Chains A and B, each alone.
Chain A
Amino acid sequence: MTKALSLINDKRVRDWLYQIVVVVLLVGLTIFFVRNASENMVKAGIASGFGFLWRTSGIEVPFVLTGYTQADNILGLFWVGVANTMLVTVIAIILATALGFVVGIARLSSHWLLSTIAGAYIEFVRNIPLLFFVLFWYFGVIAALPAPRQSIGLFGVAFLNNRGLTIPLPDAMGNLRIAGLIILASVLAYAAFHVWARKRQERTGLHAPTLRVGLALLLAVPVLALTWAVLATRWDVPVLRGFNYRGGFAVIPEFVALLAALVTYTAGFIAEIVRGGIQSVSHGQTEAGSALGLRSGQILRLVTIPQALRVMIPPLTNQYLNVLKNSSFGAAIAYPDLVSLFMGSALNNTGQAIEIIAMTLAVYLVIGLAVSAIMNWYNARIALVTR
């Protein structure tokens, strides 16, 4: 009797008891739900399992990057969705980062009017739902663009109208591939040079012209290579035939609207991150840099930016993952992304709710976990080393 009582009063035993109770409850709840689901599915006549993935899909998609056709199987449709989601996410991240940096730095400008405009933009964008922007760009702006015959020409090669954006397409990829390889090689060469320069500096204290070599390898070589490749390639430039453009590559209006919405919205959040990051570097750091005899460019490059980046990287990563998740807002205007194609069309056609939902969520979770893992590694590498 006393022994049982003392066991109950032992903290370790009680902790285990609590945890066992919670686990038993959770398992019980799961069994309850799974049993209900299987009963309901039997009633509805749905067979569970992933066999449906090899059925012919029969779903037409207006925007395909993978060579998928209606006759392909549902797994093909899944990959179309993944590709479309990734495409809009990657382009939106690049553009939103650029716009966000510009707005964030403008916010810190000593020019009163400029920083006020940037501040107004940030406050405007952050306090309105993203879905508002998606609908606004799609039904308010793109739909109000002129018809193809009165398209807005961009340098005479790309055309923007209410059916989307038509851009030129290269006839052959050969030259562009060569340019890509050249750029890759020069980036690798710069990385090698950087490592060598740092080692030499640690050994001998001699500076290497990192900036000039960097400009040459990271800017001049890529620009030259791309210019050559663009000029040497024959382009299929869209031409107006009848009521629409022929040739080139037609970017659907849904893509343009979703991209514009993601960029304008996310840029407001990135601008605040940039501002916070730059402000977090105390003025004493800049002063100490100039006391050591560094020039203002060197202070920015060697003192301010590395420290600001350390503060900015974690929230920026978060925003990038948000862009990935927010790309699913395309479902509201029927942009064929993963959610709208797979969780929408494929699910309606097959009724395999559980399998399809699990696959869709898994894509987002896997990408999210991978990015978090990379970022944790990076963060640990650049973290402040203190004694």
Chain B
Amino acid sequence: MSGLASPRSASSLSLWRERLFGTPFTAFVTVVLALAIAWVAVPLIRWALIDASWRGTTRADCTAGGACWVFIRARFGQFMYGLYPADQRWRVDIAGIAFVLGVAGVVFAPQRLKLKLGVAMLVLLPPLGIWLLSGGFGLRHVETRDWGGLMLTLFISVYASLIAIPLGILFALGRQSGLRVIRLISVIFIEFWRGVPIIAVIFLASLLLPLIMPGGIDIDRLARAVIGLGFVIAAYMAEAVRGGLQALPKGQREAATALGLTYWKATGLIVLPQALRISLPAMTNEFIALIKNTTLVLVVSILDLLGIAQASLADPNWVGMNMEAYAFSGAIYWLICFALSRWSRSLEKRRRL
């Protein structure tokens, strides 16, 4: 019996020819776009790679005419740690490693240990991080004024979300609550913070927080920015959590109540574990937004990664390094945010399946 020949799998070359030059119009668009790409990319690659200077220590070593990556090399420590004393930077490294290990431990722990381990980490890690970074109890004290760079970006993002996530969950629950007064308070809180510019909130926190505290109590400048950001992001987190709460069938809470669980037990054991799993992608997106908005602390002269890059442009020894500083800091932001957004998208896909 002679069957039909199996359809020839299109070779990748002919597939590409079809894609790019299938019809005259397609071919025309392809050529125009290719020319445009070449017009942008060729000078860019020449600048960034071919004509770039990589080795050396001063501006005089940049002779090739392209990018002066020597500048980034010389300033790398500052971009990462700000003005944190060089002999103390190991403390930042340890704090970072402890944080990564803690998160990894919780993620990879067996299911029955996850909750206990997570709570333990949540209680232990934040104070440990603050102790390592700012000092005291045997470590040299480092003023928050000297913190900066990528380390500060991550510090602010993590600690602001430590305020934002619990607060956001509370207000999301409040907005769904049957108690009218609680619901009203939650709606006002959420809509107020979502309605105002974050830059204004950072100004507000740095001006108002010292004003409303009893005389003599001084809140650290950095702490003010973290609190301000934490409150705004809490409102956005609340909306992300609300999505999860609304996606959960009503029967879940009703069944829990029928089993005799109190409101908080039903919430903690039945509703939140499921709702948070649904909200996780949206919450990750809010965390990405938080990392991006961390840059705004620049307006109260706290220098995170972008701030340090901007400040480094004023160095008289390194005049005209704008493009190098922006390219480097932009690439780091992009890598972090892109990785997180990919992760959030894969979470969402897994849930949909």
Q: Which of A97-115 contact B (CB under 8 A)?
A: 111-114
Chain B residues in 8 Å Cβ range of A288: none
| Residues A328 and B33 in contact in the complex (CB < 8 Å), given A22-B182, A357-B207 | no
Q: Is A40 positioned at the interface, with any CB of B under 8 Å from its CB?
A: yes
Q: Is A235 positioned at the interface, with any CB of B under 8 Å from its CB?
A: no
Contact B197 A129 (CB under 8 A): no
Complex Cα distance, B344 from A127, in Å, reads 13
Q: Is B225 positioned at the interface, with any CB of A under 8 Å from its CB?
A: no
Contact A19 B207 (CB under 8 A): no
Contact A132 B20 (CB under 8 A): no
Residue from A114, A117, A136 whose CB has the most chain B CB atoms within 10 Å: A136
Q: Is B258 positioned at the interface, with any CB of A under 8 Å from its CB?
A: no
Segment of B70-78, B130-138, B139-147, B211-219 in the binding face: B211-219
Q: Which of A149-167 contact B (CB under 8 A)?
A: none
Q: Which of B210-239 contact A (CB under 8 A)?
A: 210-215
Give, as a whole number of angstroms, the nearest-CB distance from B183 to chain A.
10
Bits for B309-349, please: 1 = Cβ < 8 Å to A, else 0. Answer: 01001000000001100100110011001100100000000
Bits for A166-193, please: 1 = Cβ < 8 Å to B, else 0. Answer: 0000000000000000000000000000
Contact A127 B207 (CB under 8 A): no
Q: Is B181 positioned at the interface, with any CB of A under 8 Å from its CB?
A: yes
Contact B211 A37 (CB under 8 A): yes
By beta carbon, the residue of chain B nearest A125 is B334
Task: Find A325's partner among B178, B197, B203, B215 (CB 8 Å cutoff).
Answer: B197
Contact B208 A357 (CB under 8 A): yes
Residue from A132, A328, A331 whose CB has the most chain B CB atoms within 10 Å: A132
Residue from B20, B182, B299 whose CB has the most chain A CB atoms within 10 Å: B299
Give, as a whole number of angstroms, the nearest-CB distance from A11 to chain B.
10
Contact A36 B195 (CB under 8 A): no
By beta carbon, the residue of chain A nearest B323 is A140
Give, as a whole number of angstroms, the nearest-CB distance from B129 to chain A.
23
Task: Find A130's partner among B30, B179, B215, B292 (CB 8 Å cutoff).
Answer: B292
Q: Is B200 positioned at the interface, with any CB of A under 8 Å from its CB?
A: yes
The count of residues in chain A whose C-beta lies closer than 8 Å to any C-beta of chain B is 55
Contact B182 A339 (CB under 8 A): no
Contact B204 A113 (CB under 8 A): no
Chain B residues in 8 Å Cβ range of A343: 200, 203
Contact B211 A23 (CB under 8 A): no
Task: Find B200's partner among A40, A144, A328 (CB 8 Å cutoff).
Answer: A328
The count of residues in chain B whose C-beta lies closer than 8 Å to any C-beta of chain A is 53
Q: Is B293 positioned at the interface, with any CB of A under 8 Å from its CB?
A: yes
| Residues A127 and B179 in contact in the complex (CB < 8 Å), given A328-B199, A353-B211, A365-B195 | no
Contact A369 B306 (CB under 8 A): no
| Residues A364 and B195 in contact in the complex (CB < 8 Å), given A343-B200, A353-B211, A354-B208 | yes
| Residues A123 and B37 in contact in the complex (CB < 8 Å), given A364-B200, A369-B195 | no
| Residues A128 and B208 in contact in the complex (CB < 8 Å), given A113-B34, A357-B203 | no
Q: Is A194 positioned at the interface, with any CB of B under 8 Å from its CB?
A: no
Chain A residues in 8 Å Cβ range of B337: 126-128
Complex Cα distance, B37 from A12, in Å, reads 68
Complex Cα distance, B288 from A123, in Å, reads 13
Contact B185 A111 (CB under 8 A): no
Contact A127 B334 (CB under 8 A): yes
Residue from B180, B330, B338 whose CB has the most chain A CB atoms within 10 Å: B330
Give, as a whole number of angstroms, the nearest-CB distance from B211 to chain A.
5
| Residues A114 and B33 in contact in the complex (CB < 8 Å), given A19-B181, A132-B306, A339-B199 | yes
Q: Is A131 positioned at the interface, with any CB of B under 8 Å from its CB?
A: yes
Contact A127 B341 (CB under 8 A): yes
Task: Find B333's partner among A19, A128, A144, A369 (CB 8 Å cutoff).
Answer: A128
Contact B295 A131 (CB under 8 A): yes
Contact A39 B215 (CB under 8 A): yes
Complex Cα distance, B291 from A332, in Å, reads 17
| Residues A36 and B200 in contact in the complex (CB < 8 Å), given A123-B338, A132-B306, A368-B195 | no
Complex Cα distance, B313 from A35, in Å, reads 44
Chain B residues in 8 Å Cβ range of A130: 292
Q: Is A18 positioned at the interface, with any CB of B under 8 Å from its CB?
A: yes
Q: Is A258 positioned at the interface, with any CB of B under 8 Å from its CB?
A: no
Q: Is B90 positioned at the interface, with any CB of A under 8 Å from its CB?
A: no
Complex Cα distance, B196 from A360, in Å, reads 9
Q: Is B114 positioned at the interface, with any CB of A under 8 Å from its CB?
A: no
Contact A127 B199 (CB under 8 A): no
Q: Which of A202-240 contact B (CB under 8 A)?
A: none
By beta carbon, the residue of chain B nearest A39 is B215
Q: Is B296 positioned at the interface, with any CB of A under 8 Å from its CB?
A: yes
Bits for B179-192, please: 1 = Cβ < 8 Å to A, else 0. Answer: 11110010000001
Chain B residues in 8 Å Cβ range of A18: 179, 182
By beta carbon, the residue of chain A nearest B192 is A365
Contact A111 B197 (CB under 8 A): no
Complex Cα distance, B322 from A43, in Å, reads 45
Q: Is B29 positioned at the interface, with any CB of A under 8 Å from its CB?
A: yes
Chain A residues in 8 Å Cβ range of B333: 127-129, 132
| Residues A364 and B213 in contact in the complex (CB < 8 Å), given A113-B20, A128-B334, A139-B322 | no
Task: Find B29's partner among A37, A111, A135, A347 (CB 8 Å cutoff).
Answer: A111
Chain A residues in 8 Å Cβ range of B211: 36-37, 40-41, 353-354
Contact B30 A113 (CB under 8 A): yes
| Residues A357 and B204 in contact in the complex (CB < 8 Å), given A131-B306, A339-B199 | yes
Task: Find A347's partner among B20, B197, B207 (CB 8 Å cutoff).
Answer: B207
Q: Is B26 positioned at the interface, with any CB of A under 8 Å from its CB?
A: yes
Contact A23 B181 (CB under 8 A): yes
Complex Cα distance, B215 from A113, in Å, reads 63
Residue from B20, B185, B198, B322 whose CB has the most chain A CB atoms within 10 Å: B322
Complex Cα distance, B196 from A37, in Å, reads 22
Give, as a whole number of angstroms, the nearest-CB distance from B29 to chain A.
5
**10 extra interface residue pairs, beta carbon distance < 8 Å, beyond A19-B181, A40-B212, A369-B195:** A19-B179, A19-B182, A43-B215, A113-B34, A129-B291, A136-B326, A328-B197, A328-B200, A354-B211, A364-B196
4 tightest CB-CB pairs across the interface, nearest first?
Answer: A127-B337, A129-B292, A33-B212, A328-B197
Between A and B, 14 residue pairs with Cβ closer than 8 Å are A15-B179, A19-B179, A113-B20, A117-B37, A124-B334, A126-B341, A127-B337, A128-B292, A325-B198, A332-B299, A339-B197, A339-B203, A357-B204, A360-B200
